[in-house]
Structure 1
Amino acid sequence: MTAAAPRTVRVVAALIPGPLDAQRFLVQQRLPGGSRALLWEFPGGKVESGETDEAALARECREELDVELAVGRRLSQVRHVYPDLTVELVLYAARLVSGEPKPLGAHALAFQSPEEMRALPFCEADIPFLDELVAGRLGPFD
């Protein structure tokens, strides 16, 4: 008997440069007690049925960070299989339009340089984005 394939979800994430230093980007630590508890990731969330990636990303950041975003171009995409879930993760360039990020849906928030992010335990699905960022292959918001 073969195990059922894990369910697949589409998730969007934002690469948000800091307001004072464009070489530092917003990352969030997942809440304790849930899946991938206390691991770090780029902010974002699940795309709901009938929603565009851009609308989902703006909504998730409004709900979880209390900020308004301008969502730019798609930067990268990965597919990662966790034991319980397959994630189709898409990273978008974004910038803060209004609001100061608050950890409403996260344990902690930080603006980190790519090198500083390397010292944090990241969700496996986000690591390819971090690798691209460190290598200088992800461009700025436009």
Structure 2
Amino acid sequence: MLQVVCAIIEQDNKVLITQRSSQMAQPLLWEFPGGKIDAGESETGALVREIQEELNLLILPQQRLTPVTHTYGFKTIELIPYTCALQSGEIILAEHMAYSWVSIDALLDYTWCPADIPIVEEYIRLKQEL
């Protein structure tokens, strides 16, 4: 099973979501940005590295949410979400086609990668409880 981390980057009551390019697996679907955990790397270390590489942002991981196991064809991933604070940086897209800062109540208006859907739902529940 492939372990992948994703960042729910929060700023000004919005979260950052990214749209996969047409050349990526799950083309044009929306996701929380992130990537694979390298050998010997911690979850949070991988998350900070991936967000720096893909988006040119420095983040601070905060709360680990419930991981999701999902099978895409012949590949099974464990997607491990973290809420994160934005520390610094200007977004430069290295892999994705687009990005958007979205209010919590608009998250379900997007077409998500299947593995991200339970994370979106859990995140909305957590925010409604506050």
- If the length of structure 1 is used for normalisation, what is the TM-score? 0.84
User: Which residue in the other structure is 1:12 paired with?
Assistant: 5
Structure 1 residue 127: deviation in Å? 0.1
Which secondary structure state, in structure 2, belongs to the residue aligned with residue 135 of structure 1? helix
Query: Matches of 2:28 and 2:74 in 1, distance apart?
Result: 17
1:76 aligns with 2:84: no
For structure 2, the residue ranges without an aligned partner over 5 or more in a row are none
Alignment partner for residue 30 of structure 1, among 10, 20, 25? 20
Aligned residues: 130
The amino acid that maps onto 2:75 is L
Structure 1 residue 85: deviation in Å? 1.4
User: Is the strand fraction higher in 1 or 2?
Assistant: 2
User: Is the helix fraction higher in 1 or 2?
Assistant: 2
User: Which residue in the other structure is 1:90 paired with?
Assistant: 80
Alignment partner for residue 118 of structure 1, among 92, 103, 108? 108
Alignment partner for residue 64 of structure 1, among 51, 54, 57? 54
Structure 1 residue 26: deviation in Å? 0.4
Which secondary structure state, in structure 1, belongs to the residue aligned with residue 17 of structure 2? strand
Structure 1 residue 139: deviation in Å? 8.3
Query: Matches of 2:63 and 2:126 in 1, distance apart?
Result: 16
1:53 aligns with 2:39: no
The amino acid that maps onto 2:122 is E
Which secondary structure state, in structure 2, belongs to the residue aligned with residue 10 of structure 1? strand
The amino acid that maps onto 2:118 is P
For structure 1, the residue ranges without an aligned partner over 5 or more in a row are 1-7
Seq. identity, %: 36
| Structure index of larger Rg | 1
Q: 1:43-96 deviations in whole A, cap 9, x for unaligned? A: 111101111111100000000000111112312211111113111011112111
Q: 1:82-139 deviations in whole A, cap 9, x for unaligned? A: 1131110111121111102222221101111233221211000000011112223688
Judge conservation of contact 1:75–1:138 (CA < 8 Å) in 2: no
RMSD over aligned Cα atoms: 1.8
Which secondary structure state, in structure 2, belongs to the residue aligned with residue 103 of structure 1? coil
